[in-house]
Each structure stands twice: as C-alpha cells, then as structure tokens.
Amino acid sequence: MALTCGAIGMLVAVFPAAWVNLFSKDPEVLRAGVVYLRTVAPIYALSGLGMALYFAMQGVGEVLPAVGANALRLLVSAGGGLAAVWFFDAGILGFSLAIAAGFSAYGLGRPGGLSVGAAGTCPDVPGRAMPAGDKLEAKGTFKVAKGTKGIASVTLAGKSGATARFEIK
C-alpha cells in the first residue's frame, strides 16, 4: 500500500499540472494545486504506510492506537495549516507543509508501537487466538449465543487430525 501511494505521489509531484487541469483551468487553482502537489505528493508513501499500519492494528484487535495516530495526523495537519495561514501568513506553501507534516506523523508514528514482522506480540487476552508453535490457540471462557457456529480441529498424539463443525443449540 505504501509503495503504491508513493509511486502515485511521485508521478503526481512530477506532473502536477496534468492532474490539476483535470479539475480546473483557472490559473489560480493551477498555481495553488501545483504548489500543494509538489509539496505533499512525495509524502504520500508515508500516508500509505500509516494506512497499512492502521489496518494491521485492526487485524490484531488494537484499534484505539491506530485511531490515535490518525487523530494526531488530523491535529498536525489542521492545526499546522491553520497556524501557517492565519498566524504566519505562509499561504498555500505553509498549508501544504502542514499537511505533509501530518502525513509524516501518521506514517512514521507506527500506531501503537506495532513491530513490523513480529509475530505474537499481542497481549494474551482470554479468547484471542495467539500463535502457539505452528497453530493458533485460544484460551479462556467464551460466551456464545444460541445459533453460534464453530469449527474445532482436534489432534491426538499418534493419530491423524479431525475437524468438527458445530452449532450451539
């Protein structure tokens, strides 16, 4: 995801007028769009990395740190953009730098300290499937409703494994 966003970003940064002209022929829109895209588009890879880490955090059940990283991006981009335009009179370049800083914070912040490539770093929460050798294992008490369907794999020493499908009545 990060590589795709980065490749698109670099293409748009090199040819910003081609993209902006799809939406407007106004010279002021073109000027502002070119400044914005040349400043922010090269950082799209970090935005893509932030999104990939966000989805990874969802996959391990740790959504709040990922949402926090996105909130940080919004705060840096919006707060920095507001300060650049209103307090420092930095115009479109200052605004664009603030957006780029927000994308950078999002991508480099590694939401929740997710360790890339580290297996089994999730806390041992009851009911969560965790790596146990070459399989996943869940421990704990599970509350399930009537009609819940499940699959269990049973392996006994010296015997071939069996799969059982079941429904709670």
Residue-range domain boundaries for the chain: 2-113, 130-167
Query: pLDDT of 127-150, one tens digit each?
Result: 566 667 766 676 666 677 788 877
pLDDT in tens, 9-35: 999 999 999 999 999 999 999 999 999
Q: Are 17 and 32 contacting, i.e. CB atoms less than 8 angstroms apart?
A: no
Percent of the chain at pLDDT exceeding 70: 80
Predicted confidence at residue 23, as pLDDT, reads 96
Q: What is the pTM of this model?
A: 0.64
For the chain, give the mean pLDDT: 82
